[in-house]
Chains A and B, each alone.
Chain A
Amino acid sequence: MTTESAPAAGDPRRLLADMRTLAHRVRLDQRMTWSALLVLAAATLVAIPFDWFGMKLDCAPDGSCAYARRGMLYYWPWAMLLAYAAIAFLHVRAARARGLGSRVWPYAITGAVTTVVFPGAWVALAVYFSNHPYPEGPLPYWWYVLDRLVMPWGMIGVTLLVLAWLERNVALLLFTVGYLVLVLLVLPMSDGTRLVHWGGLRAQMAVPQLIVGVVLLLGALGFRRRQR
């Protein structure tokens, strides 16, 4: 970039192109995608023992079990708040060290707001089913998708879409779409996998969470490598 004044009727196309290039460079320098994914991976992996030991399980002699994932209910709201506070802190600190302001606040605030979605849905369902009978027969598929969406792992994906938009980060958008497909359509996040034949229901619930944690961790490593 030169210091001479642009002539009044200079090359506006080139000026606009220069402006776009500078804006893009700033966006790249503000990115801290990997740290957000790393914190979320840590929160997801730490949740597993809370879910395992906090699960209330009542099994009948015929083998059928009723369960309540109390550990998740107590763990996730605080974990989400702490995670998004940590992400905001790390982003602001890194941006400041690079001599820039940060764009992370809308993401962190959205994340903190989604904290109430899971306990809110849990309470709403508990209140509803205290007055209504459980539906007969298998639930429709959309019910499972909606259930997985309001769970913390679904909300993590929805909030990552906000980060992808703020960072104008196409790679993160693609990663998030893949992640959402995994947690909403592939992994049985709410009822556990029947493919695990050891450890009972607790292990069946833990395995999908472990997969999500590892995916987020691999994402963090991938974005870290890409940023270098």
Chain B
Amino acid sequence: MTAVTPTESSDAAHPVNGLDEVVHQRVRLGILTITHEARRVEFGYLRTQLELTAGNLSKHLSVLEEAGLIEIEKGYEGKRGRTWITLTAAGNTALIEEIGRLKQLIARVETADPTEDR
């Protein structure tokens, strides 16, 4: 009797393997989603919607900016400093791919044989 192990190719095809660690994070996914919908979003709006501290949000924004997924623009409106975030083309693609992978994952779980894990 031989043990059946998953082949390399079937393992690589699993949607989990394609998940981007930068994007596949609850807050960062939220930032990308809001920025995608809003076209352009202000730091304060993100902080309120995601219920984060300014420091925490800044850290996540830095990760996304370093990965080239967003652009951060700082400016002033009157005396008030404002930070605007826009999605880059790479960020848009990353978000679409992430949604695709999540849907694949759901489809895979739903179509999986329930006896497979036993």
Contact = CB atoms under 8 A, between A and B. Distances in A.
Interface of A: 1-6, 8-9, 12-13, 15-16, 18-19, 22-23, 25-27, 29-30, 98-103
- Which range holds the interface residue count of chain B? 20 to 34
Contact of B49 (A4, A8, A22): A22
A8 B40 CA distance: 28
B83 to A, nearest CB: 10
Interface string B22-53: 00111101100110111111111110011110
Contact of A15 (B16, B39, B52, B102): B102
A1 B51 contact: yes
B24 A8 contact: yes
Contacts of A5: 24-26
Contacts of A99: 41-46
B99 interface: yes
A27 B49 CA distance: 13
Given A8-B19, A12-B106, A99-B44, A18 B38 contact: no
* Residue among B36, B44, B49 having the largest count of chain A Cβ atoms under 10 Å: B49
A103 B37 CA distance: 9
A100 B38 contact: yes
Contacts of A30: 38
A12 B105 CA distance: 7
A188 to B, nearest CB: 42
A18 to B, nearest CB: 7
Interface in B96-118: 99, 102-103, 105-106, 109
Contact of A8 (B16, B37, B46): B16
A6 B105 contact: no
Contacts of B106: 12-13, 16
A12 B39 contact: no
A12 B107 CA distance: 10
Given A15-B102, A30-B38, 16 more contacts: A1-B30, A2-B26, A8-B16, A13-B106, A18-B26, A18-B29, A18-B30, A19-B30, A22-B49, A25-B49, A26-B37, A99-B41, A99-B42, A100-B41, A101-B86, A103-B39
B40 A100 contact: yes
A30 B51 CA distance: 19
B37 A27 contact: yes
* Residue among B19, B37, B99, B102 having the largest count of chain A Cβ atoms under 10 Å: B37
B81 to A, nearest CB: 13
A100 to B, nearest CB: 4
B50 A1 contact: yes
Given A12-B106, A15-B29, A19-B99, A6 B38 contact: no
